[in-house]
């Protein structure tokens, strides 16, 4: 049995934040869930996916976050308790659906998890999705601890059903990827709903309907604000004259700081866990008892702005600070020492900063960036493109996935990236303005996610571009989730269909389509040369199963290669392919047999033909 399905109320388990969130949903009787994977949210979905295979829960990986939210919107409008999971930038993709779903509302509880990523550990920006609460009108709940994440998700379903609108649970990486004790509650039976009832004058958002729906949404926001002021997730800790208002993990840092500074008697902390609408009445009361207030929040001054506005309305003139040059930054994540120092500085508490080691005599250390794996088909494709375009002026928009890592030298496979799918859309602009040949890279999952409209645009507007689709048959970067191009039967899962990338591309009307196997460099380069020489839209589909996913299976390439005595130390292999299986020993290139997958690409690159398969079969199992 899946560990999150265990019926063991009151027992404590040591869980990842994302596991606690999935457990919270199960305890609330979630019956339906959909997602597009994205760090730091991915393990929530992974656990729901696993549980769906041994319970009545319906779970799907949808093609993108907008589709996932639409799927969930319909389920929730059939009365089903539903969860939709995405990373913060995924909410941008889903935003069109989100904004009007807020008008239409739900029958069964719908919880949308937005996993924000301050410091951008694995994201392209660090946007603060609390503003989506303001923008859409939807309530936002934010946990501070792992156990609270479980409880808050379970309660979010209740809140959603009570207000009949979706509720956003906003986390940050330090909740999703932290681990702590979680006390299990009871598991409610899945709430499956009673089907769909037609109600077009409330559910079809033509202008006349939406005008009345917006009125209703404002009424719900007013009710939500009153609920926020009495919510158990907004509470006051301590009773001194100095006030701290904090949310999420910042609350933990503030609480530790107050104890470390020994100022428990002088500080009161208002923890905001129900952060949209902001609890105006509670904040007003809190401010009335304070001489001075500091708002501690990562990201934007979301609470600070609200607190100032509440104070202004009440006629309070006490100092309220948060973001500022001497205080907190809008950049990156906080840590305990930073929060301790700012609290001490602002309120004038005595404080001894930690003695940090003097690192001035540490030599410059070689970086250890994540790298494409040994045997990764992307590396072969990038090398092939680099070889074929040598001496040409090219621009290479790239996209989001493992292959983004190829932008580093020596492969240098990527010149522009803003969001999922942007490699196909931006290709149009570059083809008109950059005066260079455009070669775009996109992965298979990203192609389905949002690459297709850009490709259609390129065909219709007759842009001159080559799109290289790096088809590794999985959503690799986030942990090998399926996508519409994956053969689910091969993974032992029945009941799915499969969408062919080639058919989609041909169906769009791309006239120059080729399919290559990256490990065959010669043929791969020939196809690329022809595609790049074609005037108009050409597509090259490079098919190679993800080396990491097939490691140790029958599909793995074969026995490892080694460098023979014929090597004349050109180092084309190590300098231009840069496979992590290479290393230098006594100034000679060697291949780590434990890492080598036997893809043979380096053997094809070596000018001396010095890289050969090792004779004895000692494949790594």
Partner 1 sequence: MDVTRLIIVAVGGQGNLLASKVLGEAARASGVSVRMSEIHGMAQRGGVVESALVFGAAESTVISDGEADILVSFEPLEALRALRKCSEKTVLITNTKPLPPFTAATGRGTYPDMETIRSRIRAKTARLIEIDATALATGAGNVLSVNMVLLGALAATGLLPVTENAVRDAIRETTRKQFLETNLKAFELGGQAAK
> What residue ranges bind partner 1 (CB under 8 A)?
12, 14, 39, 121-122, 144-146, 173-174, 177-181, 249, 251-253, 255-256, 259, 333, 335-338, 354-359, 361-373, 402, 405, 409-410, 477, 548, 574-575, 578, 580, 582-584
Beta carbon nearer to partner 1, 53 or 259: 259
What is the nearest approach in angstroms of partner 1 to the Cβ of residue 590?
A: 10
What is the nearest approach in angstroms of partner 1 to the Cβ of residue 366?
A: 3
Pairing status of strand 140-141 against strand 234-237? unpaired
Rounded distance between C-alpha atoms, residue 97 and residue 573, angstroms: 48
- State how far the alpha carbon of 548 is from the alpha carbons of 229, 376, 404, 470, in Å: 50, 8, 16, 15
What is the nearest approach in angstroms of partner 1 to the Cβ of residue 101?
A: 30
What is the nearest approach in angstroms of partner 1 to the Cβ of residue 512?
A: 33
Cβ contact 395:421 at 8 Å: no
**Both structure tokens of 321:** 């600070």
What is the nearest approach in angstroms of partner 1 to the Cβ of residue 93?
A: 20
Angle 585-589-592 from CA coordinates, rounded to 5°? 80
Other Cβ atoms within 10 Å of 201 Cβ, number: 11
Beta carbon nearer to partner 1, 251 or 347: 251
Beta carbon nearer to partner 1, 357 or 391: 357
Beta carbon nearer to partner 1, 136 or 172: 172
Beta carbon nearer to partner 1, 99 or 120: 120
Rounded distance between C-alpha atoms, residue 60 and residue 45, angstroms: 9
What is the nearest approach in angstroms of partner 1 to the Cβ of residue 371?
A: 5
What is the nearest approach in angstroms of partner 1 to the Cβ of residue 130?
A: 21
Beta carbon nearer to partner 1, 365 or 433: 365
Rounded distance between C-alpha atoms, residue 218 and residue 276, angstroms: 13
Rounded distance between C-alpha atoms, residue 37 and residue 363, angstroms: 39
* Furthest C-alpha separation in the chain: 84
What is the nearest approach in angstroms of partner 1 to the Cβ of residue 196?
A: 40
Angle 66-484-621 from CA coordinates, rounded to 5°? 125
Rounded distance between C-alpha atoms, residue 444 and residue 199, angstroms: 39
Rounded distance between C-alpha atoms, residue 361 and residue 368, angstroms: 20
Beta carbon nearer to partner 1, 55 or 371: 371
Per-residue HEC secondary structure of 449-468 comes to: HHHHHHHHHHHHCCCCEEEE
Beta carbon nearer to partner 1, 133 or 518: 518
């Amino acid at each position: 049995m899946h560990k999150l399905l265990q019926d063991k109320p009151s027992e404590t388990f040591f869980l990842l934040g994302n596991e606690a969130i999935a457990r919270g949903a199960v305890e609330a009787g979630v019956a339906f869930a959909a997602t597009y994977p994205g760090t730091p949210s991915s393990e929530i979905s992974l656990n729901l996916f696993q549980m769906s295979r041994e319970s009545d829960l319906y779970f799907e990986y949808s093609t993108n976050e907008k589709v996932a939210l639409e799927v969930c919107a319909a389920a929730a409008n059939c009365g089903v308790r539903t969860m939709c999971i995405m990373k913060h930038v995924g909410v941008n993709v889903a935003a069109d659906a989100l904004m009007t779903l807020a008008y239409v509302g739900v029958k069964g509880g719908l919880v949308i998890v937005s996993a924000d990523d301050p410091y951008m550990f694995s994201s392209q920006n660090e946007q603060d999705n609390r503003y989506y609460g303001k923008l859409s009108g939807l309530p936002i709940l934010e946990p501070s601890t792992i156990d609270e994440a479980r409880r808050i998700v379970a309660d979010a379903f209740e809140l959603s059903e009570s207000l009949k609108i979706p509720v956003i649970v906003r986390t940050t990486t330090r909740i999703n990827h932290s681990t702590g004790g979680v006390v299990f509650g009871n598991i409610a039976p899945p709430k499956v709903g009673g089907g769909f009832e037609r109600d077009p004058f409330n559910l079809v958002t033509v202008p006349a309907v939406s005008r009345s729906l917006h009125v209703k949404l404002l009424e719900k926001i007013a009710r939500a604000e009153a609920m926020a002021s009495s919510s158990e997730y907004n509470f006051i800790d301590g009773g001194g004259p100095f006030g701290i208002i904090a949310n999420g993990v910042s609350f933990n840092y503030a609480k530790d700081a107050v104890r470390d500074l020994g100022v428990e008697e002088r500080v009161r902390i208002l923890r905001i866990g129900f952060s949209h609408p902001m609890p105006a009445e509670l904040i007003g009361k809190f401010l009335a008892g304070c001489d001075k207030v500091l708002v501690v929040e990562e990201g934007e001054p979301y609470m600070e702005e609200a607190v100032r506005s509440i104070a202004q309305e009440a006629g309070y003139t006490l100092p309220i600070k948060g973001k500022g040059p001497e205080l907190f930054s809008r950049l990156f994540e906080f840590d305990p020492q930073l929060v301790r120092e700012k609290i001490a500085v602002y309120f004038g508490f005595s404080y001894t900063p930690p003695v940090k080691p003097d690192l001035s005599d540490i030599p410059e250390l070689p970086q250890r960036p994540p790298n494409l794996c040994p045997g990764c088909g992307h590396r072969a494709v990038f090398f092939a493109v680099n070889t074929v375009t040598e001496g040409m002026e090219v621009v290479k928009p790239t996209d989001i996935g493992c292959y983004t890592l190829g932008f580093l030298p020596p492969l240098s496979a990527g010149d522009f990236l803003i969001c999922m799918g942007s490699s196909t859309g931006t290709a149009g602009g570059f083809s008109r303005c950059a005066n260079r040949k455009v070669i775009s890279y996109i992965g298979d999952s990203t192609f389905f996610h949002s690459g297709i409209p850009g490709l259609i645009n390129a065909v219709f507007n007759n842009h001159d571009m080559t799109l290289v689709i790096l088809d590794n048959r999985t959503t690799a970067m986030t942990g090998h989730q399926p996508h519409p191009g994956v053969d689910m039967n091969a993974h032992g899962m029945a009941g799915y269909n499969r969408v062919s990338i080639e058919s989609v591309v041909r169906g769009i009307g791309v006239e120059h389509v080729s399919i290559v196997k990256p490990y065959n460099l010669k043929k791969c380069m020939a196809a690329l040369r022809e595609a790049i020489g074609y005037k108009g839209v050409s597509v090259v589909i490079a098919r190679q199963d993800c080396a990491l996913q097939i490691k140790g299976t029958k599909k793995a390439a074969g026995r490892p290669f080694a460098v023979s005595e014929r090597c004349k130390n050109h180092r084309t292999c190590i300098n231009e392919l840069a496979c992590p299986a290479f290393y230098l020993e006594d100034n000679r290139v060697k291949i780590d047999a434990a890492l080598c997958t036997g893809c043979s690409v380096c053997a094809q690159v070596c000018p001396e033909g010095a890289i050969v398969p090792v004779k004895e079969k000692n494949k790594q199992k």
